[in-house]
Amino acid sequence: MKLGWSGFLQSLVALAFVALIGVFSHWPEYRRLPPESAVIKLSFSQHGQRLVDCAAKGPAELAVMTPEQRLHVTRCPRERSAIRVQLFVDGVLRVDTSARSAGWSQDGKASMYRRLVVPTGQQELTVLLSDDQRRDDFPYQARRTVTLQPAEVLVIDFDPDLGGIQFP
């Protein structure tokens, strides 16, 4: 079987392509994080409190309603508060953000995600979360001292059923 010049050139092009892939698979070196760095990830998804409290309908309102409409004896606007999150690392404010509720009526969960690169070693973390913009304070608070290793990823989450802000 004779390959000829066209077969030789095809083999040469294929070899060059494989060599190119081999070179770029090892060079330049890629690092996801600088050396001696770790990552803190904040991931929250939470329903904010209602912006307006539910109110009972008065007798005059109920009198003009049909019997089917009287089943709902309270008036509850759907709009919910935004959530606000602050993260302090060693006493320094590193994240201060808020997230609005999702949906047309802004009655869904407010979700936020932040990624923060920090130096390794011992860090004192303070996380504050407020789900009611009518209040000035933060009802959910957590403080932890953690020791972060190089390339470690620390995820901080929120679960109201487990007591609020969750560290691993």
- Confidence category of residue 28, pLDDT binned at 50, 70, 90: confident
Residue 26 structural domain: 4-166
Q: What pLDDT score was predicted for residue 79? A: 85
Give the separation between CA 150 and CA 54, rounded to whole angstroms: 50
DSSP code for 71: G
DSSP code for 69: G
- Count: domains in the chain: 1
At 36-64, the pLDDT tens digits run 999 999 998 888 888 778 777 777 877 78
Tell me the pTM: 0.72
Tokens linked to 114 = 């932040």
At 64-92, the pLDDT tens digits run 878 777 677 677 788 888 899 999 999 99
